[in-house]
Structure 1
């Protein structure tokens, strides 16, 4: 470690923060290449993210900003090896310092986005991908990427934790996630592969529709706030899952272990499907799958559905 870093480390250890800042500012004042010095220190300290190095990084960056504000010198930013810059941004420099780093070394938004796009095609569980996502969130760049670049892969692979990282508790992004899920479940989820292929050029996907459906309903329940008109497909999806559950209750429960009376079951069904042809069609389809012709006839009569309004397979 250089003598400057040793001296700074000692002062910070003794909680003499202002003395450390003054020492660093003085170094940049007398240096013939302050930008190069700072960059070399950042490279060195980023090799290990221990607490001492984090404190030194914070001190140096804070001091450099103060030096720039106080200095009367006009010093051009020198050319620095792009590979070293990329290495710091994409691998080494703690994310909390990246915004300051980009400001000091004039890393443009376009350049940063270009670098980040080199990482988002890594496996979603890889450290490189997670770092890229956290940088994107830090800079609030989520909407700079198309759905098929970040959000759709997270949704389709049901990466709950990373989706929450992506949303960052921002209502706009939470709404964006719900809108995309609602779009995917147009037509009750029967068009998902078609939508992915035609709209997002995603094909040959090993899609777990059951897990995806659970995720969609989960986010609808957490974030939807019962906005049925805004997210009608998610609302319907939840009801479809409830109907499937009720069918399982009726047709797979042991009679001796029955948890719901027929009257209560019928009331729940009526509440869900009344006035909704899509849900009533789905419910009748479930009954047909159980070969319960008596129930099919009963519910068609109860719904008072004219024959021409029923699906052709009924």
Structure 2
């Protein structure tokens, strides 16, 4: 072939499978082979060897192929015919041609490849995110545009009318509403590192939702003290008239007119913005009655109420052994006491909850505990907050492998610490000698589930205890009082109840470790607690995508139960999850949406209890705790139920699968050793379903053998 570049285009244009909807394996192979050949012989048959007129003609023909070809052909054609070198107006004209014909994805891919982002506007969000990649100014424009759509009076029909070629279905329009857009805005704020101040409508929307959340926690659930509520509310609504009006409206709904009148008078809200009755209530109250009082920290007793002492874990230290540090001299004394080889140090950190408003979570308090002492480093004190001595102290402590540091979920604490002290990011430190009790807790839960330890571990009877509080309850007998957990840790002075909570939250780590390390085998733990690693390392984004792609490629493949697995217990390829068990040894409770699964499992001899249609989901948790059963559920209830039982005691199933396939998953998951005798051992329904289950399992086996 005298002119390979011309001949190859002739060949491509003449192929039937060039259409984008039909990817041809032969064409793909031919394209890759030609690309490889061309790379080896480029000096002899390069595009530059042709005249300028011939080059332009070939490049325009290649552009035409990009319009109709499969997306997989784009990169080779761009490289072989060097389309990026075409004149900018010509490339832009082609991109506009794709947009006008509704080929949004093709236009995006093409424009990113030839760097046309600054000259085009893209509508689809997922495509737009790719489109603005590596272009900070476009990223900011995208986020600000989405935020503008969160205005209360936003109308998507007005926007859609500006694009005659754009047709939106009713469902698509419903997807463009402030609640969903607000989530996207805050996601992109974090992804692109955008200043939240550029998104006033989304921030206002999030603050309104946070204010409603605080009202429910305080006045409906009564799980937050009014002191904590007031601290958060005052910071959140300061200087914002709309939020102040919303606060008064919510107080009328959830509290009473008197409280609403106090806050309305405190912020001097105009009469025309007040709910009915509030203004009249203000007129009836004296100035003293309208004052919003606070609780003085000095008036609080260090000893908690008797009811709390009976119910919650108590700090075994008096007030004089809890040291609040806000000067460099105090920090230096703390360092001398803490940074000592062989020490065991509990570490925890507190910061003000931002309720998802995009603000950075800066650490306000660092808690350090050693035997008989707790040190509270005040990072809101200007004298020590960013001083090099303080940063060096914490860096030295965390990187000293001769000092054992105890924490619970320390990865979150360290992220917030790096956000607070950028020096730790510029000069990364190597964290050594750390035992995360979260990983120990996960191992403890697994051991409890398998009854491998001689000591029984109690699980909370309600949904309230989780995390460190649950571990403290299981090991020390009583949970932590978490009332102050989401208080405003940036307020100064801190209330006595906050100081007491901060000290107890870190000192309990020492006591839990002391009990567990004294005799780990009693809890079913390895002798070296430091050998316990995280249950599962977080997956990188590319790994997650790969896993999702693998799932999609498999479709709805089901687990196969062969004759051999029925006779011998499980398939040879089954994942090893411990020793095999017989069906009667598996005790489960099926949520009311999985009654069909329950009947199948009962048919093969599994001990099953099923909820009735009218039963509440929490009954499943009560049965699981009382009788040592595993909960089988699906969908949203799983997230609620799993926090009420031990780890591994709640299994989430695919509700789109048929009961038979769900049963196969359950049997494999628990390594159930299924025999023919078991299949007929617990018959509580007609034998028809038994025959169907037995025949289907045998049929699966025959299919595989065939």
Q: TM-score scaled to structure 1, two decimals?
A: 0.63
Cα 1:145–1:104, aligned 2, differ >3 Å: closer, same or farther? Answer: closer
Q: In the alignment, is residue 117 of structure 1 matched against residue 104 of structure 2?
A: no
1:179 shift after superposition: 1.7
Q: Decide whether the 8 Å contact of 1:38 with 1:60 is kept in 2.
A: no
CA distance in 2, matches of 1:301, 1:171: 45
CA distance in 1, matches of 2:73, 2:212: 48
Larger radius of gyration, structure 1 or 2? Answer: 2
Q: In the alignment, is residue 297 of structure 1 matched against residue 261 of structure 2?
A: yes
CA distance in 1, matches of 2:191, 2:274: 33
Cα 1:68–1:269, aligned 2, differ >3 Å: closer, same or farther? Answer: same
Cα 1:284–1:98, aligned 2, differ >3 Å: closer, same or farther? Answer: farther
Q: In the alignment, is residue 140 of structure 1 matched against residue 115 of structure 2?
A: yes
CA distance in 1, matches of 2:132, 2:214: 33
1:193 shift after superposition: 1.0
1:233 shift after superposition: 3.0
Q: Decide whether the 8 Å contact of 1:284 with 1:299 is kept in 2.
A: yes
Q: Which runs of 5+ in 2 are unaligned?
A: 19-23, 279-706
In the TM superposition, 1:247-258 aligns within 5 A as 247-253=215-221, 255=222, 258=223
Cα 1:211–1:231, aligned 2, differ >3 Å: closer, same or farther? Answer: closer
Q: In the alignment, is residue 193 of structure 1 matched against residue 155 of structure 2?
A: yes
In the TM superposition, 1:265-304 aligns within 5 A as 265-288=229-252, 290=254, 292-304=256-268
Q: In the alignment, is residue 103 of structure 1 matched against residue 68 of structure 2?
A: no
Describe the SS at the equivalent of 2:129: helix
Cα 1:307–1:91, aligned 2, differ >3 Å: closer, same or farther? Answer: same
Q: Decide whether the 8 Å contact of 1:137 with 1:166 is kept in 2.
A: yes
Q: In the alignment, is residue 166 of structure 1 matched against residue 131 of structure 2?
A: yes
1:300 shift after superposition: 0.8
Aligned equivalent of 2:200, options 215, 232, 237: 232
Cα 1:231–1:116, aligned 2, differ >3 Å: closer, same or farther? Answer: same
Aligned equivalent of 1:40, options 1, 4, 10: 10
Deviations 1:233-259 (A, max 9, x none): 333333223223223323542x4xx2x
Using the TM superposition, name which of 129-138 and 268-277 deviates more.
129-138
Q: Which runs of 5+ in 1 are unaligned?
A: 1-26, 122-127, 155-160
CA distance in 2, matches of 1:167, 1:105: 22
The root-mean-square deviation of aligned C-alpha atoms, in Å, is 4.1
In the TM superposition, 1:62-81 aligns within 5 A as 63-64=41-42, 67-68=45-46, 71=49, 76=54
Q: Decide whether the 8 Å contact of 1:217 with 1:237 is kept in 2.
A: no
Describe the SS at the equivalent of 1:94: helix
1:113 shift after superposition: 1.4
Instruction: Give the match for residue 94 of structure 1.
Output: 73
* Higher fraction of strand: 2
CA distance in 1, matches of 2:152, 2:202: 13
Cα 1:166–1:190, aligned 2, differ >3 Å: closer, same or farther? Answer: same
CA distance in 1, matches of 2:73, 2:132: 21
Instruction: Give the match for residue 179 of structure 2.
Output: 210
Cα 1:34–1:223, aligned 2, differ >3 Å: closer, same or farther? Answer: closer
Cα 1:73–1:278, aligned 2, differ >3 Å: closer, same or farther? Answer: closer
Q: Decide whether the 8 Å contact of 1:224 with 1:231 is kept in 2.
A: no
1:111 shift after superposition: 3.4
Q: Decide whether the 8 Å contact of 1:181 with 1:216 is kept in 2.
A: yes
CA distance in 2, matches of 1:311, 1:59: 78
Instruction: Give the match for residue 16 of structure 1.
Output: none
Q: TM-score scaled to structure 2, two decimals?
A: 0.31
Instruction: Give the match for residue 11 of structure 1.
Output: none
CA distance in 2, matches of 1:247, 1:192: 27
1:62 shift after superposition: 7.5
1:98 shift after superposition: 4.6
Q: Decide whether the 8 Å contact of 1:274 with 1:303 is kept in 2.
A: no
1:263 shift after superposition: 1.0
* Higher fraction of helix: 1
Q: Decide whether the 8 Å contact of 1:217 with 1:238 is kept in 2.
A: no
CA distance in 2, matches of 1:261, 1:58: 70
